[in-house]
Chains A and B, each alone.
Chain A
Amino acid sequence: AQKITQTQPGMFVQEKEAVTLDCTYDTSDPSYGLFWYKQPSSGEMIFLIYQGSYDQQNATEGRYSLNFQKARKSANLVISASQLGDSAMYFCAMREGRTGANNLFFGTGTRLTVIP
């Protein structure tokens, strides 16, 4: 079974609008971390936001927030006030366990296009 599922291959959003990128995960480990990365067309992988499985509140970083629904095993990324520079691939990833000793499992990504 896939550990990370991103069901939206592509998404479009109007500039200045908000957009939600979906991510569901599968793990039996009670301790895990969820990450979102952005990959612009230039190719680098940019870390955006982190949510721990025991965190009580949804993570926020500037215009990025993570809608964490533990019972549904979903960790959707919300981008508010979209900008043209937000056009990129977005990857959801998960690390299982209590330490940083395990690798990140990545989803297949969602390509976001911001329309002027």
Chain B
Amino acid sequence: DAGVIQSPRHEVTEMGQEVTLRCKPISGHDYLFWYRQTMMRGLELLIYFNNNVPIDDSGMPEDRFSAKMPNASFSTLKIQPSEPRDSAVYFCASSLGRNNSPLHFGNGTRLTVT
């Protein structure tokens, strides 16, 4: 089992540039989550999908952030335009739809916006 795969592992970009983060969930998992981790705010949920449909995007900071899940095996989180305050580690996670199902996290993407 390959686990949740995220790319890239590290991204350094300049303010104003577009950033796209990618995620491949575990096969068979019907929930996909995007979290952001910072020292100041800890782990925050940005958005989650069920069967490729966005269910709750209330955590998306602003219109600069968008997420898509075109199929069961792929999701993207896009930031356009990026700002220095977006610097964080972005995690993708997937799970089955049961209450006792843990989230399985990818290794994260460390984003630095200069």
Contacts and interface: CB of A to CB of B under 8 A. Distances in A.
Interface of A: 31-33, 35, 37, 43-45, 47, 50, 52, 91, 95, 97-101, 103-104, 106-109
- Mostly, the A contact residues are loop
A75 B49 CA distance: 28
Which are the 9 A-B pairs with shortest beta-carbon distances? A45-B105, A47-B102, A106-B43, A100-B97, A103-B45, A100-B101, A100-B98, A33-B99, A108-B42
> For the side of the interface on B, what is the size category?
20 to 34
- Mostly, the B contact residues are strand
A32 B102 CA distance: 12
Contacts of A107: 42
A73 to B, nearest CB: 18
B96 interface: yes
Interface in B83-114: 89, 91, 93, 95-105, 107-108, 110
A101 B103 CA distance: 11
A47 B98 contact: no
A31 B99 contact: yes
A50 B102 contact: yes
Contacts of B104: 47
Contacts of A91: 43
Given A43-B107, A44-B107, A103 B56 contact: yes
